């Protein structure tokens, strides 16, 4: 793998593999992805506050419970939402106070707290979810169906790449602990 002198390098030869240590493309990609996510999140937060006087963490938590008919434990919810257990406990406290969620210890294993939406919670979520879906569609209106499919596919590959890299790092750390 040779690195030609800068002056002689043709544009189409300027590949990452030929510029050891340079990863500006990946960095720009990440910053652009972060911009998109932040724009969407901020807009959805604003609309949830304006139209429903609620917050995104509450909406996200209710969305998880809505998908499960039998209820979910605190741990399951925290895994799905990729937040800490303590955070779930805190957000649930607010939803309990508003009567939107029910929490009860499981009968077999009393360590486990099972969370379910109340009737009021299901009703409130249904109304929000419908609006939420249309907001998202509005935000992505500038992409046609093939572009959406292609972006979805590339983000799928990204997700796989991330899981692999993160797991590799975790393994290294675990090895380090033993030595």
Partner DNA sequence: GAAAATTATTTTAGGCCTGAAATAATTTTG
Partner DNA sequence: CAAAATTATTTCAGGCCTAAAATAATTTTC
- Interface of this chain with its own copies, residues 55 to 114, rule: CB under 8 A: 82
Q: Which does 141 bind (CB under 5 to 8 A by kind): its own copies, DNA, none?
A: its own copies
Contact indicator for 82, 99 with CB cutoff of 8 Å: no
Q: Which residues in 116-175 contact DNA (CB under 7 A)?
A: none
- Site residues for its own copies, 22-41, by CB under 8 A, read 23-30, 32-41
The residue among 123, 124, 105 whose CA lies nearest residue 114 is 105
Our finding on whether 3 is near its own copies (CB under 8 A) is: no
Long-range contacts of 89-95 (CB under 8 A, 24+ apart): 91/57, 91/58, 91/61, 92/61, 94/58, 95/58, 95/61, 95/62, 95/121
CB neighbourhood size of 158 (10 A): 13
Distance, in Å, from the CA atom of 158 to the CA atom of 81, rounded to the nearest integer, reads 19
- Residue 29: CB minimum distance to DNA, A: 20
Distance CA 32, CA 30 (A): 5
Residue in 86, 136, 171, 172 binding its own copies, rule: CB under 8 A: 136
Q: Are 103 and 113 in contact (CB under 8 A)?
A: yes
Nearer to DNA, 73 or 129 (CB): 73
In the complex, least distance from residue 41 CB atom to DNA, rounded to whole angstroms: 9
**Residue 18 binding partner per list its own copies, DNA, none, with a CB distance cut-off of 5 to 8 Å that depends on partner kind:** none
111 binds DNA (CB under 7 A): yes
Binding site for its own copies (CB under 8 A): 15-17, 23-30, 32-43, 82, 133-134, 136-143, 145, 147-152, 154-166, 169
């Amino acid at each position: 793998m040779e690195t030609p002198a800068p002056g002689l390098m043709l544009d189409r030869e300027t590949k990452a593999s030929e510029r050891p240590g340079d990863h500006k493309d990946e960095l720009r990609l990440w910053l652009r992805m972060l911009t998109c996510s932040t724009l969407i999140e901020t807009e959805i937060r604003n609309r949830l506050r304006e139209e429903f006087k609620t917050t995104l963490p509450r909406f996200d938590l209710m969305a998880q419970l809505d998908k499960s008919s039998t209820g979910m434990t605190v741990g399951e919810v925290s895994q799905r939402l990729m937040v800490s257990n303590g955070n779930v406990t805190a957000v649930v406290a607010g939803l309990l106070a508003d009567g939107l969620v029910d929490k009860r210890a499981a009968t077999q294993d009393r360590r486990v707290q099972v969370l379910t939406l109340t009737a009021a919670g299901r009703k409130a979520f249904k109304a929000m979810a419908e609006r939420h879906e249309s907001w998202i569609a509005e935000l992505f209106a500038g992409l046609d169906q093939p572009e959406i499919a292609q972006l979805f596919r590339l983000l799928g590959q990204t997700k796989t790449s991330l899981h692999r890299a993160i797991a590799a790092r975790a393994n290294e750390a675990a090895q380090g602990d033993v030595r």
